[in-house]
Structure 1
Amino acid sequence: MSSFSIHVDSEFESIYNLVPKVQKKVERPPMYKSRHNPLAPIAFSTNKGGAPNLGKMKNHADPVNFLRKSTPSKRNPLKPIENKFNYPASKPLKAKVPSKDDRPVVGLFTEKNFVTANAIEAILAVPRIPDSAAPDYLRKEDFGKVPKYLGEVQKEISQENEMIDAFVRKQMEAYEDTPELCDAMPDEERVVLIEKLKTKWDAVNKKYQVLCMHTMFEGHQKAKKEHFEKEMNGIEEDLEKLTSNGPLMISRG
């Protein structure tokens, strides 16, 4: 089946207008009606007793003759004010303000030369001694002497050096008592061993530098980097022992 649609223009008649439309009846609610009487007088109206302005009522104060300041009442009777304040006799009062008829004394002059007088007073004045003079470090009792604490520090250092020397002598005596347990390493063998260690350190350092070119380290690369660092530190410790002064003793294994 083929479907089609009919377009109906609102300007023309339509068959739908022939169908009668059902009119719905709107039910309105009942009209509101107050339960109070609208014709009853308003309660508490101001238009009572011939006083429409202020609402004069019975048993109330008169709006015209109201209670004013300092007026006695039944609840608040007026009491006489007593001035109990008295000026103390020991404290003198201030001088009075001069009146408009008072005139200052004028015409007084002096022949004193204040410039010369001030100069003479400054010349004859005794210089004041400052209250807190600055300390003179050159006159101190311990000036130029070694402080006491430095002597104590030097004493502690000398004691530590004596303990170290005693320990070293004790160790050397133990090696001298058992010479058959240790042998001195020949210088030629020491030089060859130092060269080999330096060559090994250069090879490990080259691998370490290539690995450090990477900006991001993964798990295995980080472990390899730590292994190279540990190996180089061990070689440096061995080189430090081989290059130290004195004979290098090797135990007989």
Structure 2
Amino acid sequence: MSTQVYRPQESVYGLLPKEEENTPKPPRYVSKFRPAVVQEEKLPKRPMRTMGPAKVEGPAPEKFLKKHSKEPKLPDKAQSAKEGRINPLKKPPVPTHTEVPPMGLQTKRDFTKTCTFVSAKPQLTNVDSNKGHKEVLEKSGLVPKYIKKTDFGKVPPYLQQRNAEKQKAQEEYDSYVKEQREKQAMKQLSEEERRDILEGLKKNWDRNHHEYQGLSLVIDTSSKRARKERLETTLKQLEKDIETFERFKIIYIADN
């Protein structure tokens, strides 16, 4: 992509001499602490102001540095042991067997409540690997500690209560079912009643069959067709009932 440089057109005014413009310089920076520094420089010089004391008193020849002189010194063992034994609150020594004990003294100390320290028994552990892995024997389940309880092998009280409630609910349900069965009990037909019903069904079948035989051979109207279908349905139902009463000797009839 070519870039086109803008060049201004030449003019006769560009031939005229131009006067040089002198830009004024900014004022020189002067610190605000300059007067104080000048005043401080006019003061007389103070010795040992920056380089320390001009003369240092040297050590005396008889006070030369000795070996281990700057190491901290520990107190004397005998003195420290003696001071450590001095205790103003220390009890008097135990009397000897030759001394006569003072009579009439009473103590407030109760010897029945003195603490007796029993040595703790070692905790039994079970090591089950050659690398030393161990576990507490009491919590491992290998110790038969539950069989030693007084109620071991007995049904817990809450389970006994639950079983009693369950048994009571079952008995109430059984009594309710028995009562409903007694209310809805079916009546058993006797042999005479069964025979009477069977004879009545057969008579009805004979009557309907005789009526069916009296139908005309030509059924050309809807009324004749309806009568024929009604008689056929009645005969089929009667035949089914007769077969049932002849087949079963014991028959139950519901009250409702």
Q: Please indicate, yes or no, whether the TM-score normalized by the shorter chain is above 0.5.
A: no
TM-score (norm 1): 0.28
